[in-house]
Amino acid sequence: MEWEDLARELAQPTETKIVLLVIDGLGGLPRHDKTELETAQTTHLDRLALHGCCGVTDPVFMGITPGSGPAHLGLFGYDPIKYQLGRGILEALGSDVEVRQGDLVARGNFATLKDGLIADRRAGRIPTAECERLCARINAAVVGRPGTEVTLFPGKEHRFVARFRAEGLGDALTDADPQKDGKPRMPAKAEAPGSEKAAGAVNAFLDEVVRILADEPTANAALLRGFSLQPSIPQMPDLYALKPAAIAGYPMYKGLAKLIGMTTYKVGGATSDLFDALEAHWTEHDFFYVHFKKTDAAGEDGDFEAKVAAIEEIDSFIPRLEALKPDVLVVTADHSTPALMHGHSFHPNPFLLVAPTALPDNTGVFTERECAGGLLGRFRSIFAMPLMLGHAGKLKKFGA
């Protein structure tokens, strides 16, 4: 019996409330003998660690570096190997793009093409207003053309979502993105039978974009990646008998939450906005996923000090979270993003659970090394959800 079958059998609704605070990319590596988390002053998280039980998690398996999608799926109790999602559908749903069955969607970047090479994959991070203008220009130029219907939906800065609508599109496609500057454009290729039509439509469209934007000084090409159709995936309310909500600002995380049946709310860009939304909707749900992004962004930038500052910032909001008195509080990360590596890594994530039914292990401070010595030990992220449900009294006894 798989966990999903067991969850459906055992899950029961209760009045208890769970908060899962995901500090994105929290784990790090030492600089001058201390990681970012060990360097930060985390008075409130340390206090929680002293009264909770701790461990460390692997999002997929030891040694595997996860993307944000699979890393989050694991935390929500979904096997990230079984459910492999394209980033495009997450961005599309998170940006409120209508996606019908059969629609093919992808993440897009405007880019700078010079002398046949991609000189800048992000087109100098053009302003969002410029992205909106370019998307409108392309949409107007391709509307009404026979064949595949293509629509662009602007995002922040250079980013957008592309939607391809036609019969018979597959999503087994390689990225139409060289991934690095200084390389030529990369056409999409079908990786399985049934996706040849989609590859042709994508490549024809990208060639058309270059013609349409030929007079643009900076953003004169487009790159696409993460092609995906609407997947079939169990819904959290059905699996776990929950009324779940997501408090997240970035489209990808909101998209993933929508995909598995969470209610999402519009929140501003400030950290305080996350907790304003949490407090405003506290009576409406029994499971809250709260996502904090700044730690991951600083880690990807390789900015050790900025990541330390981000950790200290989220620590300062812990009292607001505690004031709500959740029955189960978990603080962890989806994956590690050490500043020394400038990106995601395979290192385990610190994990902290506080509940009246959780035996405190007297972990002195909330750090990677201290959590590794906690009672929960080292475990796969997929076991975080049964832990939370169990401590919230939301799982019935198994067997006689």
3-state secondary structure of 201: helix
The boundaries of the domain holding residue 277 are: 2-85+233-391
Question: pTM above the 0.75 mark?
Answer: yes
Phi then psi dihedrals of residue 139, to 5 deg = -60, -40
Q: Which residues contact 172 (CB under 8 A, 6 or more apart)?
A: 190, 191, 192, 194, 195
Examine the domain organization and report whether 367 and 354 are in the same domain.
yes
Residue 398 lies inside a defined structural domain of this protein: no
Q: What is the pLDDT of residue 250?
A: 86
**Burial (0-12, 13-18, 19+ Cβ within 10 Å), 283:** exposed
Tens of each residue's pLDDT in the chain, 400 residues: 789 999 999 999 999 999 999 999 999 999 999 999 999 999 999 999 999 999 999 999 999 999 888 999 999 999 999 988 877 888 888 888 888 889 999 999 999 999 999 999 989 889 999 999 999 999 999 887 788 899 999 988 899 999 999 999 999 999 999 988 999 999 999 999 999 999 999 999 999 999 999 999 999 999 999 999 988 899 999 999 999 999 998 888 998 999 899 999 989 989 999 999 999 999 999 999 999 999 999 999 899 999 999 999 999 999 999 999 999 999 999 999 999 999 999 999 999 999 999 999 989 899 999 999 999 999 999 999 999 999 999 999 998 8
Tell whether 239 and 338 lie within a shared domain: yes
Given 174, 197, 229, which residue is the final one in a domain? 229
What distance lies between CA 142 and its chain's CA centroid?
A: 31
- Report CA-CA distances (Å) from 392 to 75, 259, 295, 351: 16, 24, 28, 17
Among 229, 244, 259, the domain-final residue is 229
Q: Are residues 132 and 116 in the same domain?
A: yes
The total number of structural domains that make up the chain:
2
- Answer whether residue 52 is part of any domain: yes
* 205 plus 316 within the same structural domain: no
Co-location of 272 and 137 in the same domain:
no
State the first-to-last Cα distance of the chain, in angstroms, to the nearest integer: 17
Task: Give the pLDDT confidence score for residue 89 in this predicted structure.
Answer: 86
386 in the same domain as 258: yes
